[in-house]
Amino acid sequence: MSFKSTMDETPSGSGSQGIDSLGLQVMRTLDDLARFSEEEGALTRRYLTKEHTEAADFVMQMMRDAGMDARMDALGNVIGSAEGDSSSSPRLLIGSHIDTVRDAGRYDGALGIVLPIACLGFLHRQGIRLPYPVDVIAFGDEEGVRFQSTLIGSRAIAGDFDPALLDATDSDGIRLADALRAFGLDPDAFEKARYRAEDVAAYIEVHIEQGPVLEDEGLPVGVVTSIAGATRFQVKVVGQAGHAGTVPMRLRRDALVASAEAIASVERICTSIPSSVGTVGILHTLPGAVNVIPGTVEFSLDVRAESDASRHAALSEIDKAFGEIAERRGVSITKTMTHEGDACQCAPWLMHRLAQAVQAEGISVRELPSGAGHDAMAVARLTDVGMLFVRCLEGISHHPAESMSEADAQVASKVLLRFLESFDPRKTG
Amino acid sequence: MSFKSTMDETPSGSGSQGIDSLGLQVMRTLDDLARFSEEEGALTRRYLTKEHTEAADFVMQMMRDAGMDARMDALGNVIGSAEGDSSSSPRLLIGSHIDTVRDAGRYDGALGIVLPIACLGFLHRQGIRLPYPVDVIAFGDEEGVRFQSTLIGSRAIAGDFDPALLDATDSDGIRLADALRAFGLDPDAFEKARYRAEDVAAYIEVHIEQGPVLEDEGLPVGVVTSIAGATRFQVKVVGQAGHAGTVPMRLRRDALVASAEAIASVERICTSIPSSVGTVGILHTLPGAVNVIPGTVEFSLDVRAESDASRHAALSEIDKAFGEIAERRGVSITKTMTHEGDACQCAPWLMHRLAQAVQAEGISVRELPSGAGHDAMAVARLTDVGMLFVRCLEGISHHPAESMSEADAQVASKVLLRFLESFDPRKTG
């Protein structure tokens, strides 16, 4: 059977191997993958853990079952290669991440690994070979939960991995370099993970929306226009510790009350600047006792906006507010930037091809930005990127209640197959 | 040499055993005691740790060197007994606590153990026996750092220990009952730690002020009038976790921003109600990741005031504010009380005797309240209590910078000796 006829001529309802069962297959595989968790009764899968190994083995087996060669690169990314008819053609990369936040949902990241493998497996079973080679990549670290630095996997393949990160430590004081070694990898070989730009045609990522737009508009999928830029800081507030009973309110330099005011200012500023969001996700008090005024507080700060101008405006307002709070309360507030990524534009030619594939499935094309960061941001340093969003329940993600439907997995699979069918690695305009 | 003549007739500068070297001896012993710490380079000594054992052994040796019998009771309190001339007289109790907060100073608690033992040792070396028996008690737990419940030691001797506490767990999940067993004690024998009221004449505690009043007024010591009442809560704020990039500000139910507003309201309310103080010392965010909106926040709340009416007024205002924040933000805020102690009045007859002893040293008598809780609060359920405050540096306590002078230790020692000289256990008015 030729590729051209696949989409329209494959009979419906052709059992567990048929095109109409792709959605079911994707959902079941996502359930299976969610079993690899560090925590009983919750899904937590951090970079370079035992559960990462187990999930990677599972994904490599899926890749091989789909007729692909599977390997792990120097940073722990899993790569499955489907060779194409033309050995001289540059590769299409398709990927997303295999790590999760703590107590996560099962679709964020994993969908963008499982769904393309299911599609390529379908083509393999139909005896169809694409005219160009495809690599499906399961990135080892996107969320950054373990080493507090995101996109390690996708930066490495884009040749943008900072070797200084090898000295970053997790909460147990384990260095990234040592965690890689314990995982059976060679940290000094990180350069080998890099793709050469001339070998790559484009990068596509399928991901749940993690927001409420598609659900509101009754659409199963949407085409991403850009990914919001983000800046992250570690903020340290230093006041004066003291006895909770003996220091009168007016003489206190309480680092936590100052931090509370700072957190409220982030909310106020990001509410007033359109499309910007600001979040404090982690906060620690020191010394941390019931009867001691906190002398030091450390918290994370994450600021994002669709446009870099909005993000810079929010950051500048936050700086002003923090400075005013520090001055008035006699505390110091210092910010250390831990991550900065500018907004990332998706390539118009890829958006166009994705839109055509959506349209071919009889669905109106909704273009929308992404408020969340994705591996595509890092890969954009290497090649043109495009993203397909899939509707999720109530915009919930990073939470066990994260959910999407089998019907939408089915639609997204068919859209990706249509995209693969029409994709021409030599036509980038 | 008779007791009556000790204070006025002992020659000055009589070497390391003389009355004028008591301050030096107290300061050196406090330095020695500070070596028993769980942390290198910082003083942390929690209840029933190895370092508690080491400090208890050290104190028992001091007691024996001072001519006292030393023993440990069922809750780990160390008790040194100096018998009096009259075997029928009720006992004077003098004590304070041997445990510390994290990264503590070396005077809070320890001063009230070391100084009385030094005074009794001085009398012992002079061959002087008091007309009444004295027990010096080093309470095992006052700060409550390990099991989040304060005054375990002093409650036990007052017959006010709640056996339900035996099931309280520390941060490693170890139950108090098991920690007592591991310490070589029998948790079921807690009743044996209790004193009978008819055997006790009074309780006296010497403690650093932990506030700035005496330093401001240039006075080495002061007489405490009352100890502020305190209420403590564990507060839980539940909102909705979500992705830090995709949930617009206006749709968030961020448990940390709600908590920040709650913390600001505690500051506002306690600043407006005279003599009240409110402190949030510990705060945790859940799930606790850089890129996740906190769905749940837990924090401690400690509210104190000199009068119970002021404290109740503050608590009622805080309830109102928390309710309004929860309602407006669509989060739940629940408070669980973990400790409540009413304000405690010092006995006028003991204040009078302490004031006379201060005056006899040529120092103006300053009466002042205590904003901090002390073992005396728990012992007040058993007997009349009095407290002598000693000036400390800049009101700092619960911090390595906590400090006091050798000269003040000397003055306080002589005041305590004067008090012991004049104390009559049968005259309580």
**Best interface-test mutation with A: which of B240, B251, B291, B391 has the largest number of A CBs within 10 A?**
B291
3-state secondary structure B236-284: EEECCCEECCCCCHHHCCCHHHHHHHHHHHHHHHHHHCCCEEEECCCEE
* Rg (alpha carbons) of chain B, rounded to whole number: 23
Whether A210 sits inside 8 A of B246 (CB atoms) is yes
CA–CA separation, B6 and A258 (whole Å)? 54
Spell out which residues of chain A touch residue B243, defining contact as CB-CB under 8 Å. Answer: 210-211, 371-372, 397-398
What's the one-letter identity of residue A324?
Answer: E
Whether A295 sits inside 8 A of B210 (CB atoms) is no
Q: Which residues pair with A385 in a beta bridge?
A: A203
Spell out which residues of chain A touch residue B304, defining contact as CB-CB under 8 Å. Answer: 244-245
Whether B291 sits inside 8 A of A144 (CB atoms) is yes
Whether A287 sits inside 8 A of B102 (CB atoms) is yes
Spell out which residues of chain A touch residue B259, defining contact as CB-CB under 8 Å. Answer: 260
CA–CA separation, A183 and A74 (whole Å)? 10
* pLDDT value of residue B429: 54
Among the partner residues A143, A257, A267, nearest to B291 by beta-carbon distance: A143
Spell out which residues of chain B touch residue A373, defining contact as CB-CB under 8 Å. Answer: 245, 291
Q: Which residues pair with B285 in a beta bridge?
A: B297
* pLDDT value of residue B256: 98
CB B210 within 8 A of CB B100: no
Give the Cα-Cα-Cα angle B217, B219, B223 (nearest 5 degrees).
Answer: 105
Place of tokens 């500070």: B34
Give yes or no for residue A211 having a pLDDT over 90. no
Q: Are strands B242-243 and B385-390 parallel, antiparallel or unpaired?
A: unpaired
Tell me: the pLDDT tens digits for B374-396? Answer: 999 999 999 999 999 999 998 88
Whether B143 sits inside 8 A of A291 (CB atoms) is yes
Q: What are phi and psi of B152, to 5 degrees?
A: -60, -45
Spell out which residues of chain B touch residue A249, defining contact as CB-CB under 8 Å. Answer: 267, 270-271, 276-278
Whether A291 sits inside 8 A of B279 (CB atoms) is yes
Q: Are strands A78-82 and A69-72 parallel, antiparallel or unpaired?
A: antiparallel
CB B396 within 8 A of CB B402: yes
Spell out which residues of chain B touch residue A47, defining contact as CB-CB under 8 Å. Answer: none
Q: What are phi and psi of B384, to 5 degrees?
A: -65, 145
- The distance of B260 to chain A (nearest Cα, Å) reads 4
pLDDT category of residue A25 using cuts at 50, 70 and 90: very high
* pLDDT value of residue A7: 60
Nearest to A144 by CA among A37, A33, A47, A277: A47
Whether A244 sits inside 8 A of B103 (CB atoms) is no
What's the one-letter identity of residue B197?
Answer: A
Tell me: the pLDDT tens digits for B402-416? Answer: 999 999 999 999 999
Q: Which tokens go with B389?
A: 């405050």
Whether B242 sits inside 8 A of A399 (CB atoms) is yes
Whether B294 sits inside 8 A of A281 (CB atoms) is yes
How many residue pairs from chains A and B have C-beta atoms closer than 8 A?
Answer: 227
CA–CA separation, B70 and B138 (whole Å)? 11
What integer is the mean pLDDT of A105-131?
A: 97
DSSP B168-217: -B-TT--BHHHHHHHTT--GGGGGGGPPPGGGEEEEEEEEE--SSHHHHH
Nearest to B1 by CA among B130, B126, B122, B120: B126
CA–CA separation, A114 and B8 (whole Å)? 90
What is the 8-class DSSP label of residue B221?
E
- The distance of A175 to chain B (nearest Cα, Å) reads 19
Tell me: the pLDDT tens digits for B44-53? Answer: 999 999 999 9
CA–CA separation, A318 and A312 (whole Å)? 10
Tell me: the pLDDT tens digits for A263-284? Answer: 999 999 999 998 899 999 999 9
Residues in Cβ contact with B282 at an 8 Å cutoff, skipping those fewer than 6 apart:
A285, A288, A289, A290, B299, B300
Chain B residue with CA closest to A244: the answer is B279
For chain A, the average pLDDT equals: 93
Whether B395 sits inside 8 A of A242 (CB atoms) is yes
- The distance of A97 to chain B (nearest Cα, Å) reads 15
What integer is the mean pLDDT of B11-33?
A: 83
Q: Return residue ranges of chain A for CATH 3.40.630.10.
A: 3-227+343-422
Whether A282 sits inside 8 A of B279 (CB atoms) is no
Distances A20 to A15, A120, A126, A408, A412 between C-alpha atoms, Å: 8, 14, 14, 12, 12
For the question of an ipTM over 0.85, the answer is no
Among the partner residues B243, B279, B281, nearest to A210 by beta-carbon distance: B243
CB A339 within 8 A of CB A406: no
What integer is the mean pLDDT of A45-61?
A: 97
CA–CA separation, B305 and B34 (whole Å)? 31
Residue B184: left (phi > 0), alpha (psi -120 to 50), or beta?
left
Q: Which residues pair with B300 in a beta bridge?
A: B234
In chain A, what is the straight-line distance between the N-terminal and C-terminal CA atoms, in Å?
30
Whether B243 sits inside 8 A of A289 (CB atoms) is no
* pLDDT value of residue A150: 79
* Number of C-beta neighbours around residue A407 at 10 A: 13
CB B99 within 8 A of CB B154: no
Whether A212 sits inside 8 A of B251 (CB atoms) is yes
Q: Which tokens go with B67?
A: 């001519």
- Mean pLDDT check: name the lowest of A66-70, A312-316, A341-345, B206-210: A341-345
pTM given for the model: 0.71
CA–CA separation, B153 and B155 (whole Å)? 6
Whether A244 sits inside 8 A of B271 (CB atoms) is no
What's the one-letter identity of residue A348?
Answer: P
Q: What are phi and psi of B212, to 5 degrees?
A: -95, 5
Chain A residue with CA closest to B42: the answer is A287
Q: Which tokens go with A255?
A: 């680092």
Whether A101 sits inside 8 A of B292 (CB atoms) is yes
Q: At what angle do helices A406-422 and A348-360 cross, to 10 degrees?
A: 120
Chain A residue with CA closest to B250: the answer is A271
- The distance of A302 to chain B (nearest Cα, Å) reads 7
- The distance of A348 to chain B (nearest Cα, Å) reads 23
CA–CA separation, B266 and B300 (whole Å)? 12
What integer is the mean pLDDT of A202-228?
A: 94
Q: Which tokens go with B176?
A: 């108090």
Among the partner residues B242, B267, B283, nearest to A396 by beta-carbon distance: B242
**Best interface-test mutation with A: which of B292, B317, B331, B397 has the largest number of A CBs within 10 A?**
B292
**Which CATH class name applies to B3-227+343-422?**
alpha beta
Nearest to B148 by CA among B377, B374, B338: B338
**Best interface-test mutation with B: which of A213, A224, A237, A243 has the largest number of B CBs within 10 A?**
A243
**Best interface-test mutation with B: which of A210, A237, A279, A375 has the largest number of B CBs within 10 A?**
A279
* Number of C-beta neighbours around residue A130 at 10 A: 20
- The distance of B387 to chain A (nearest Cα, Å) reads 16
Give yes or no for residue A17 having a pLDDT over 80. no
Whether B277 sits inside 8 A of A244 (CB atoms) is yes
Chain A residue with CA closest to B227: the answer is A245
- The distance of A3 to chain B (nearest Cα, Å) reads 37
* pLDDT value of residue A142: 95
Give yes or no for residue A286 having a pLDDT over 80. yes
DSSP A254-311: -HHHHHHHHHHHHHHHHHHSTTEEEE---EEEES--TTEE-SEEEEEEEEEESSHHHH
Place of tokens 């208890």: B56
What integer is the mean pLDDT of B142-147?
A: 92
- Topology of domain A229-341 in CATH is Alpha-Beta Plaits (3.30.70)
Among the partner residues B280, B294, B338, nearest to A256 by beta-carbon distance: B280
More confident residue, A16 or A222: A222
* pLDDT value of residue A10: 53
Compute, in degrees rounded to 10, the torsion defined by CA atoms B376, B379, B384, B389: -10
Distances A308 to A213, A313, A340, B328, B346 between C-alpha atoms, Å: 22, 8, 11, 32, 64
Spell out which residues of chain A touch residue B102, defining contact as CB-CB under 8 Å. Answer: 287-289, 292
Spell out which residues of chain A touch residue B317, defining contact as CB-CB under 8 Å. Answer: none
CB B369 within 8 A of CB B226: yes
Give yes or no for residue B189 having a pLDDT over 80. yes
Nearest to B396 by CA among B227, B224, B228, B211: B211
What is the 8-class DSSP label of residue A226?
E
CB A198 within 8 A of CB A88: no
CA–CA separation, B155 and B142 (whole Å)? 9
**Best interface-test mutation with A: which of B249, B317, B396 has the largest number of A CBs within 10 A?**
B249
* pLDDT value of residue B13: 46
Tell me: the pLDDT tens digits for A370-400? Answer: 988 899 999 999 999 999 999 999 888 888 9
Tell me: the pLDDT tens digits for A170-198? Answer: 999 999 999 999 999 999 999 999 999 99
- The distance of A32 to chain B (nearest Cα, Å) reads 24
What's the one-letter identity of residue B390?
Answer: V
Among the partner residues A242, A370, A373, nearest to B399 by beta-carbon distance: A242
What integer is the mean pLDDT of B157-161?
A: 96
Stretch (H or E) spanning B92: strand B91-97
Nearest to B204 by CA among B155, B153, B134: B134
Whether A245 sits inside 8 A of B283 (CB atoms) is no
B102-141 exposure pattern, b = at least 16 Cβ within 10 A, e = fewer: bbbbbbbbbbbbbbbbbbbbbbbebebbbebbbbbbbbbb
* pLDDT value of residue B347: 96
